[in-house]
Structure 1
Amino acid sequence: MSAELDLAGRVVELVRRVAGPGAEAEVVAVHSADALTRFANSAIHQNVAEATTTVRLRLHLDGRTAGGSTTVTGINGLESLVERTIAAARLSPPDVTWPGLTPPAELRPDAGFDEATAAASPQERADRVRDFVDAADGLETAGFCRTSYTSGGFASTTGHSAQGRTAEAAMDGIARLDGADGVSRHASGRLSDLRGVPMGARAAAKARAAGRAIELPPGRYEVVLEPTAVSDLLSNLATFGFNGKAFAQHQSFAQLGTQQFDEKITITDEPLGAILPFDLEGTPRDTLTLIDGGTTRAVSHDRTSAAEAGTTSTGHASAASRSWGPIAVNLQLAAGSGSGSGSGVDDPAADAGTGPTASSARALVSGMRRGLLITDFWYTRVLDQKSLVITGLTRNGVWLVEDGQVTTAVGNMRFTQSYPQALGPGAVIAVGTESVALPDRWSGVRFTAPALHLSSWNLTGNASG
């Protein structure tokens, strides 16, 4: 039994003793250890590490629900958590949406755990930073390398219990030349998969190719989106489109059983190995197919949104899911035929020889008569949630493509585009054959994506004015 499962079980026993047999309670104890090595001006300037154990209790008593948490895990801290949560429940209004507790259920098979990543040293992260900086060959660089380890345990008054652990590593860096930036990102469950040399070489090749950018008029352009840009599509689709609360409240575009996307599009959520194998309500996680060959098949649910929609939880409860809705945590867009998931790191020699185009997008660029190669999106915001119209900026390199060849760098542009429409039936010309695992900018979740060749993207103005 893990220390976290023991903690969760002790809180359940405290609830039974203090609140009586009529109380329903679920408890999650999670130990998180995060370490971050940051660099700027081509030198490491920060190395930090933090380890925290958090215990969360949700209690349903006499038809009323309340929750609480603590990082004080001694007996006094646990007793205080139980007592104040009981007091909060008695003061809360009746909870007519209470979905009940997760019944006992077995977890899916373990997807594997890398001890070396969980125990990674600052030197191991620094080695990758040094390789990135050296490979940039004199260009100014900045970014981070991070590792994290999570161990969790769940227990409830139904007798359900679960435990698991996971590790994650990610690196994100830029190289800069005369104000032009090139970027390279990669995420994995194994630190050994992150290789600073090809990442630094790719970022530098992009920066060198991005100088002397021209401005193009606004309009609709055929585009190739590199995986770094596609990850933003996946993030917004997960947060606002495949969100079970938004779906239950008719604020999502999702229509189950309807072909809303091009037949080349298949998107799944693959949480095992990327996050704990159970959610905050103890529901086991598993692969969830959201889009299958263009047809919308599912949205992500916790127990509350599932009850509202008349279905079952998909294992996506989180501390914020009752407020913000349940959100998928490791979306993967299936690569095109001929390849599965790649290592996520392209050959640096090949990249250096072909300028800005990483191998994940090179074949798609060669098939474009006239359009844009876009590396990344930034500062994206929702204008209309129902149709998922997004506005944002391109970043880290845009190039004009003519007759399958990159001809010139283009200045960053603003866009306003419905993401589902951009991926709609007939709108996807091709999907890249190599998938790249990429870190989310703000959290430990991942997105895995190939490049996309799309028939139309609505560029609405130049970033310069």
Structure 2
Amino acid sequence: MSDFDFSPGDGLELAARIIELVREVAGRGCEAEVNVRHEAEALTRFANSAIHQNVASATTGVRLRLHTDGRTAGGSTTLTSADGLRALVERTLAAARVSPADRSWPGLAPPAPLWLSPGHPGSDEWSGFPFGFDEATARADPAERAGRVRDFVDAAGGLETAGYCRTLSVSAAFANTAGQALEGRTAEAAMDGIARADGADGVARLASARLADLDGAVLGARAAAKARAARNPVELPPGEYEVVLEPDAVSDLLENLAVFGFDGRAHHQQQSFAELGKEQFDPSVTIVDEPLGGREEPAADLPFDDEGTPRRALVLVRDGVTTAVTHDRTSAARAGAESTGHASPASRSWGPHATHLRLEAEPLSGHGPSAGGPALIADSARPLVARMRRGLLVTDLWYTRVLDPKTLVITGLTRNGVWLVEDGEVTAPVSNLRFTQSYPQALAPGRVLGIGPSTVLLPERWGRSRYGAPALHLATWNVTGNASG
């Protein structure tokens, strides 16, 4: 198959064939679930302000999970011929027969329809909002990605630049022996680039379901403005600082909250900070997992998870109150709950994680001048910076590591620009800082001084998640070191 001849229905037909093979080889007493996934990914990478790599791949993979005689095993293949599929079934069955007893097997997802998606006819909750699979993004050619790279490099005005522009399309299908059968598709585009000036770096990132939304010139100008403004930084002593975190930094908060905080497996094991029904966050904080897209974006992911559970929006925090955690079928069975559609190939081992968190933006009025110029400060952060008396503007966080999962104390570093803000004005660049901070405590009641008026969709650095992040104005952030130690 080529990149684009995996047509609607192909995955379901392939999945149904495998289910029939399971019944033929293992008998009707064997429970089985099949995931068929076709991915077409293309990447244009640049360094030293020139494209040095353009790659594309298209693969079709099949994953099979069997449960028979109280034992479970899984297998996968990219060989979709009759012989390849039969070999997959036979070796997975052989592995199941010698596996230990699986006392936590939750059973298969029953037949259930997909939730109506945003803008879908008949959807009362989301009617009128944009939704759909962007064919132009799925079929984007190298010239379209290269054009955005050229615009980024040109907008940097001679600074050294590096980064990537990527596109991805996924078509998938699911079937199990309980009768569940679903299919869907999704597309994504992302751009991530840095500019460097005299050893100082600036960054700009953006993700979208549409390549057309990525403007390389806007991103390049912002990265360059940050790099130029970050030269010759001063050092500040450790201590508690008021901060405005730009969306790139906020995405790290959302990622860690998703992985270590709202994980239903960790919550059931009492290894998470989450306490359902308790006001753990400032009343301004609402966090939603939106795999089907939201008010500003088409679908962010497939409309079903790896166990065939239909996905829908899940409110994890509403007005400061923790309202839900994420579950696959295994964690839900243990907790006496229902799956929230967060099964993944690793969720039984590592827990079910939200991958499309959005921190709801907060409209602001009377926010004063646009401090620091249009490119240096993110739009979502500008009104927050303008009303800060003295504190830090932080672009990005990285190398963050969990010190205590129960309280979600994180240590990490800033990068790509930190500035001192005094009376609403950026007054000096600051060298990179180490921090040690409980993320839930930073967002606790009374600690959130403001949330930016717009949300930016950002790609996860190491995976396929996306986070919708506004800027955040926080009362305190615990800086424990600077560039000298």
Following superposition of structure 1 onto structure 2, how do residues 134-283 of structure 1 map, counting pairs within 5 Å? 134-272=154-292, 273-283=299-309
After TM superposition, list the pairs within 5 Å mapping 1:23-422 onto structure 2.
23-110=30-117, 111-272=131-292, 273-337=299-363, 353-354=373-374, 356-422=376-442
* 8 Å contact from structure 1 (residues 393, 463) kept in 2: no
1:337: Cα distance to partner?
2.5
Residue 9 (structure 1) aligned with residue 29 (structure 2) = no
Aligned to 1:20: 27
**Which deviations, in whole Å up to 9, do the C-alpha atoms of 1:75-103 show, x marking residues without a partner?**
11110110011111111111111100000
**Deviation, structure 1 residue 241:** 0.4
Please report the RMSD computed on the Cα atoms of aligned residues, expressed in angstroms: 1.2
SS of structure 1 residue aligned to 2:361: coil
Q: Distance in 2 between matches of 1:45 and 1:174?
A: 15
Provide, for residues 305-358 of structure 1, a one-character-per-residue CA deviation record: whole Å limited to 9, x for no partner. 00111100000000010111111011000000359xxxxxxxxxx898356322
Query: What is the letter of the counterpart of residue 376 of structure 1?
Result: D
How many residues matched?
455
Residue identity (%): 68
Moved over 2 A (4+): 350-356
What SS class does the counterpart of residue 68 from structure 1 fall into?
A: strand
| Distance across 1 between alignment mates of 2:431 and 2:205 | 22
CA distance in 2, matches of 1:464, 1:32: 45
1:114 Cα deviation (Å)? 0.2
Going from structure 1 to structure 2, the CA distance change for 1:353 and 1:314 (only over 3 Å counts) comes to same
- Say which SS state the counterpart of residue 132 (structure 1) adopts: helix
Q: Deviations over 1:375-412 (max 9, x none)?
A: 00010011110100000000000000111111000000
* Structure 1: segments with no counterpart, 5+ residues: 340-349
Question: Could you say what secondary structure the match of 2:96 adopts?
Answer: helix
SS at match of 1:359: coil
Q: Gapped runs of 5+ residues in structure 2? A: 1-7, 118-130, 293-298
Distance across 1 between alignment mates of 2:86 and 2:25: 9
| Cα distance in 2, alignment partners of residues 150 and 464 from structure 1 | 46
Task: Give the Cα separation in 2 of the matches to 1:456 and 1:338.
Answer: 21
Contact 2:371/2:426 (8 A) holds in 1? no
- Between the aligned partners of 1:130 and 1:351, the Cα distance in structure 2 is 29
Aligned counterparts of 1:428 and 1:66: Cα–Cα separation in 2: 46
Q: Give the 3 Å change call, closer, same or farther, for CA 369–97 of structure 1 in structure 2.
A: same
Q: What is the SS of the residue equivalent to 2:232?
A: coil
In 2 relative to 1, CA 351–402 (structure 1 residues): closer, same or farther, beyond 3 Å? closer
Q: Could you tell me the TM-score, scaled by structure 1's length?
A: 0.96
- Aligned to 2:236, what secondary structure does the other structure show? coil
* Contact map agreement 1:168 1:444 (CA 8 A) in 2: no
- The alignment partner of 1:16 has SS state of helix
Q: Is the contact between residue 372 and residue 426 of structure 2 (CA under 8 Å) also seen in structure 1? A: no
Q: Deviations over 1:278-318 (max 9, x none)?
A: 10000001000000000000011100000111100000000
- Give the conservation status (yes or no) of the 8 Å contact 2:390–2:423: yes
Q: Deviations over 1:386-443 (max 9, x none)?
A: 1000000000000001111110000000000000000001100000001100111112
Q: Secondary structure at the match of 1:186?
A: strand
Alpha-carbon distance, 1:464 to partner = 3.4
Alpha-carbon distance between aligned partners in 2 of 1:190 and 1:355, rounded to the nearest angstrom? 23
| Deviation for aligned residue 1:214 | 0.3
What TM-score, normalized by structure 2, do the two folds share? 0.92
User: How far apart in 2 are the matches of 1:251 and 1:53?
Assistant: 37
Q: Secondary structure at the match of 1:412?
A: coil
Q: Distance in 1 between matches of 2:382 and 2:166?
A: 29
Measured after TM superposition, the shift of residue 206 of structure 1 is 0.6
Alpha-carbon distance between aligned partners in 2 of 1:264 and 1:351, rounded to the nearest angstrom = 24
Alpha-carbon distance between aligned partners in 2 of 1:241 and 1:463, rounded to the nearest angstrom = 30
Q: 1:8-29: per-residue Cα shift (whole Å, max 9, x none)?
A: 1111100011111111111010
**Residue identity matched to 2:18:** V
Cα distance in 2 for partners of 1:357, 1:73 equals 50
Name the amino acid aligned to 2:315.
T
Aligned residue for 2:380, secondary structure, equals: helix
